[in-house]
Structure 1
Amino acid sequence: MVAPPVAAPEPAPAIPRARRGFLRGVLPRLVLAAAGGFLLYLSVPPRTTWWLAPVAFAVLGVLLHGRRARAGFGLGLVWGLGFLTPLLRWTGEFVGLVAWLPLALVCALLVAVGTAAMARVSTLPGGPVWMALVWVADEALRSTVPFDGFPWPRVAFGQPEGWYLPLASVGGTPLIAFAVAVTGFGIAHLGRSWRLGVPLAVVPVLAGLALTPLVHTDATEGTAVIAAIQGNVPRAGLDFNSQRRAVLDNHVNRTLALAEDVKAGKVPRPDVVVWPENSSDIDPFRNADAAARIDQAARAIKAPIAVGAVVVDRGDGRPRNTVVLWDPDRGPIDTYTKRQLQPFGETMPYRSFFRIFSSTVDRAGTFLPGTDPKGFEVGKVRLAIDTCYEVAFDSVVRDSITAGANIIAIPTNNATFGYNEMTYQQLAMSRVRAVEHGKAVVVAATSGVSAIVQPDGSVTARTGMFTPDALVAELPLRGEATLATRLGPWPEWVMTALALGALAFSLTLTRRRARPTTPEPGVGEEDTDGGPAGEA
């Protein structure tokens, strides 16, 4: 019996060409983009790996060079998500994905707008410079829109130490961003041109090191003893203020304990005491008991206390996030009202629309912003107040400095975000602001981290999280304005204008190249008679 022939196995189906192209080309680039963005996240405090930031931009530079704008948008979106998704995880600590992921996506989309423009200018002569300028312009955009902007993820805020920090004293946060980005793009350019890539990779670093002598810490207007009180909260979360009296009592009691230490000679008597934002969510102007407790603390410490309070206006009934200067003899003598309110927290834009997605929006407040940037004057101390979220905004901090301050206070409430990196990111911002404006900074947080920051950005004292504590330090009072303070927004405006000019030039150049040319008569063209053009 003859065995039937064995059928040959059918060949495996061929992978479609489009799928092969995706697996071999697009997918690796997307993975590399996500990894590059994650490297930028890893450069941000509480880690001290600030040097990873230019590496992240080097990855972005390799990916974007010579790409079309559409590819630049897609790659930038993935790179931005790799950076922003882990960076902003704290926003969803107690409200979940509904706040965290949409915010990360919106910010990443704005990053992608910038990377699309970077791809367009990448092939211009000096491409890495134009790309870095576009990044600065994109940060300016993200600091403005939507809802008054969200500058929290600025590159400069990941550089509270290291080579680039001294640049803040000359050109503020935009100059740091430009230096970090151009270093990374210069590294990416090394494979194409050593002559251009090496200077771009090295010069920003050398510039930062060379500007270190401009970061002054001398006390041009004497010194003052400042105390920061961290009273702690009953529990973390959005309902921390459900025990508002407990929060107030915590800060009173910790101040009374500090007064005992002063009396015993353990620490010097402070000239000013700074309490955190929301240290009294009971309006002391309406509640006599709250006022009595604050007055008790001020009389015990024998110094004015800057009290973070929620104050309800008697006219319109709307709350204000206010810092009240409480004198031990005269009671409340001055106020500062927070000017830059946090959307989706202290205010709720388009409340009825966003309620469709979550009823959590009804927990957002109806606060009204202040308008006066001037802080408090206590003897020789002229204290700028930049409450919590305000520290992220260049113009808000600058206005409080130009109003005449010689030291900065950052009262903040981080209890609503639990145990996560938010407080360390905010402390990094305070350190950059110290160098930018040449002022010592006192950070007072309800639950931590509170800190004493010197004008060179160094932290000389700090607290733990969710522990009551008090920091007391003699700090320099500096009336001298840095170049960054004097220049104000001009560095960012100039760099943004240059970026837009480069983009416009690139678009014009592309259109000219795409425009069909009209052949000259007599060059291989036939006339209507069928003979060579130009012939009789």
Structure 2
Amino acid sequence: MERLKALGRLLPRLVVAVAAGAVLGLAFEPHDHPWLAVVAIPLFLAALNGVSMKGGLLIGAGFGITYYAVLVPWLSVIGGDAAIALAVLEGLFYGVFGAFASQTLKHRLWILWVPCLWVATEYATASVPFGGFPWGRLAWAFADSPLGKLASLVGIPGLSFAVALLGVLVYAVLRRRSALSVRAVALVAGIAVVGLSALIPLSTAGNGKTVTAAMVQGNVPGKGLEFLGRARTVTRNHLSATLDLQKQVEAGTQIKPDVVIWPENSTDIDPFLDLETRQDIEQAVKAVDVPILVGAVLEGPGPNERQTTGIVWDPVTGPGQIYAKRHPVPFGEYIPFRDQLLPYIKRLEMVGRQTAPGKVPGVLPIGGVTYGDVICFEVAYDGVVADVMKGGAQVLVVQTNNATYGDTGQPEQQFAITRMRAIETGRTVLIASTSGISGVIRPDGTVEHKSSQFVPDVYVASVPVRDGKTLATMLGGWPQWILTGLGIIGAVLALLARRNRKDPDPGTPPAATPSRETVPV
């Protein structure tokens, strides 16, 4: 009975946390209200303040599940159960955050520890299980905000820390128990973070050299899970769009590109094994007379395996360098525990052959320029992007295929993530999608071109070749590791201090006899 009463006392806090999760989800595309993040975090902390660890676990999970339910409803294209499973899985990470943050808020250095703990939580979600799912990082919402410029100095983890810190500072100003001096410092610090970030210069100048690239969006004959059933039509659409481009070049209405970029899955049939597909590609390459970076699915390397690749196809020498996608999507491109799950979940048979991950970064020299190729969801993973930058990428390329999720908000979210990568790396990003969104993003994150979805689109751009590195690129993973370490230290210190506290937590029934610890919910 006492536990039921305690749970009843937690319910109002749980309602606040659920509302905060929904508000945070609205900060991202396609809603695009980034500053709601600075509203959601104080609400979440208010719900956590003073509760037990078990109460914090429940409140945090409610926040996280709601957050992801609002953030990634597009996964319901695969199935409503898949969307629910992902929301619950990711929400549990925020349940752990809530358990630790509920105690960290009682520590005198909570203003530092809580945003560090947030970064640690994002690091965990981006790492496990199956390589993680980094889609929910606070930084992704701020491509259009002056605050987003911080990514060029401290990377995506550092920007997430800054956003979480702003939310914490707002909470410090509004917290009833905050001293006047703390409120004043928090207010000044928050204004300083926003104001100073606006002063960060972002250069778009190159090394004196430019390259002209054409992004070809050939479009697909349908949407959803079945669109690749007409794989030859997809390839022919890209061939046709490329031939139209060449006609414009010959007519003098379009400049000749140095390279043409086709998207991921521009051919879903292995051109090394299928003569008709190979002929289509070679017709396009010979017509434009420049290399085409072709997105192709190849058979192998093992039995019942495939690889999603980018192939540099030269008009003289034919197919050359191949980049194989290093981070395939679990349950989308391969099935973890395949033999155990397939007998029970027949829908997984739609995945088909296992996608085998590539082993080397997508560093592709083409015509004297080094391109860093990442494929689709890989753009959200720090390590994949960092590796192509270490390899000397002067221009970034994202080959993507979002036809499954067209008009669901997912393409807009990925485009926003890509914009943040441009700011972080100081590189132009060239995006080619089968059905949208294709485009060109300048090194400062501004958009030169953004296609519509489910229409053919060919865009030719002359972009700067850049060699200089941003501070974020030079620092690499250090900001994330340091902030995560500080978050863990803060949680440990808070737990040690908890052992000596006797004050009861809201939502926890009063003990019948004196005790060193409250009885948690």
TM-score, shorter chain, exceeding 0.5: yes
2:428 is aligned to 440
Q: Is the 8 A contact 2:13 2:48 kept in 1?
A: no
Which residue in the other structure is 2:230 paired with?
243
- The question of whether the paired residues in 1 share the 8 Å contact of 2:440 and 2:450 is answered with yes
* Identical-residue share of aligned pairs (%): 35
Instruction: Tell me if the contact between 2:268 and 2:296 (Cα under 8 Å) persists in the aligned partners.
Output: yes
Secondary structure of the equivalent of 1:496? helix
Which whole-Å CA distance do the structure 2 matches of 1:28 and 1:273 have between them? 56
Rate the CA distance shift 1:126–1:193 in 2: closer, same or farther, 3 A.
farther
2:128 is the alignment partner of 1:125: no
Looking at both structures, which has the greater relative contact order when contacts are Cα pairs under 8 Å and sequence separation is at least 6? 2
Contact 2:323 2:360 in 1 (8 A): yes
Q: Could you tell which deviates more after superposition, 334-343 or 376-385? A: 376-385
**Amino acid aligned to 1:379:** G
What's 2:207 paired with? 220
Q: How does 1:292-371 map to 2 (within 5 A)?
A: 292-313=279-300, 316=303, 318-355=305-342, 358-364=345-351, 365-371=353-359
Aligned partner of 1:51: which letter? W
1:385 aligns with 2:388: no
- Whole-Å Cα distance in 2 between the matches of residues 503 and 270 of structure 1? 54
C-alpha distance 356-183 of structure 1, shift in aligned 2 (>3 A): farther
Paired residue for 2:250? 263
Residues 291-310 of structure 1 deviation map (CA, whole Å, 9 limit, x = unaligned): 11111111212221111000
Residue 448 of structure 2 is aligned to residue 460 of structure 1: yes
Matched, 1:78 2:62: yes
| Secondary structure, aligned partner of 1:269 | coil
2:150 is aligned to: 167
Cα separation, partners in 2 of 1:49 and 1:103, compared to 1, 3 Å: same
CA contact (8 A) 1:35 1:79 kept: yes
Q: TM-score, normalised by structure 1?
A: 0.89
> Do structure 1's residue 26 and structure 2's residue 10 form an aligned pair?
yes
| 1:81-100 per-position Cα deviation (integer Å, ceiling 9, x unaligned) | 2210121111121x321211
Residue 491 of structure 2, aligned match among 478, 490, 503: 503
User: Match of 1:61?
Assistant: 45
Equivalent-residue separation in structure 2 for 1:512 and 1:314 (angstroms): 59
What's the CA shift for 1:199?
3.8
Unaligned runs of 5+ in 1: 1-15, 515-536
Change (3 A) 1:113 1:81: same
Task: Report which of the two structures shows the higher radius of gyration computed on alpha carbons.
Answer: 1
Question: Are residue 42 (structure 1) and residue 26 (structure 2) matched?
Answer: yes
Confirm whether residue 195 of structure 1 aligns to residue 181 of structure 2: yes
Which has the larger displacement, 290-299 or 373-382? 373-382
Count of residue correspondences: 498
- Answer yes or no: is 1:229 the counterpart of 2:212: no
Q: Which secondary structure state, in structure 2, belongs to the residue aligned with residue 232 of structure 1? A: coil
> How far apart, in 1, do the equivalents of 2:182 and 2:75 lie?
41
Secondary structure of 1:240 counterpart: helix
Change in Cα spacing, 1:208 to 1:386, as seen in structure 2 (3 Å) is: farther
The 3-state SS of whatever aligns with 2:206 is coil
Aligned equivalents of 1:413, 1:43: Cα separation in 2: 24
Determine which of 467, 481, 496 is the counterpart of 1:479. Answer: 467
Q: Deviations over 1:487-514 (max 9, x none)?
A: 1110010011111111111112222457
Aligned residue for 1:400? 388
Q: Could you give the per-residue CA deviations for residues 160-208 of structure 1, whole angstroms, max 9, x where no partner exists?
A: 1213201111111111111111111111111323433444455355335
Distance 2:2 2:372 in 1: 63
Worse-superposed segment, 422-431 or 300-309: 300-309
**Distance in 2 between residues matched to 1:314 and 1:117, nearest whole Å:** 45
Q: Where does residue 508 of structure 2 map in the other structure?
A: none
**1:309-356: CA deviation from partner (whole Å, max 9, x where unpaired):** 001136656211111011122211211110011000111001244336
* Change over 3 Å in CA distance of 1:383–1:63 after alignment to 2: same
- Whether contact under 8 Å (1:186, 1:198) holds in the other structure is no
Q: Matches of 2:116 and 2:239 in 1, distance apart?
A: 49
Q: Is 1:449 aligned with 2:437?
A: yes
Question: Which residue, out of 101, 104, 116, partners 2:84?
Answer: 101
1:476 counterpart letter in structure 2 = P
Structure 1 contact 133–499 (Cα < 8 Å) conserved: yes
Structure 2 spans left out of the alignment, 5+ residues: 503-521
Q: Is the 8 A contact 1:186 1:196 kept in 2?
A: no
Q: Which amino acid aligns with 1:300?
A: A
Q: Does 1:430 align with 2:430?
A: no
Secondary structure, counterpart of 1:475 in structure 2: strand
In the aligned structure 2, how far is the partner of 1:38 from the partner of 1:119? 20
Q: Label 1:479 to 1:429 Cα distance change in 2 as closer, same or farther (>3 A).
A: same
Which residue number in structure 2 is paired with residue 207 of structure 1?
Answer: 193
How many angstroms apart in 2 are the aligned matches of 1:441 and 1:297? 23
* Pairwise CA RMSD: 2.0
Q: Find the aligned partners of 1:88 and 1:79 in 2 and give their Cα distance.
A: 14
Q: In the alignment, which of 61, 71, 75 is matched to residue 87 of structure 1?
A: 71
Counterpart secondary structure, 1:404:
coil
From 258, 263, 266, the equivalent of 1:276 is 263
Structure 1 residue matching 2:455: 3-state secondary structure: coil
Alpha-carbon distance change, 332 to 156 in structure 1, aligned in 2, over 3 angstroms: same
Question: Matched residues in 2 for 1:33 and 1:241: separation?
Answer: 41
Work out the CA distance in 2 between the residues paired with 1:277 and 1:343: 17
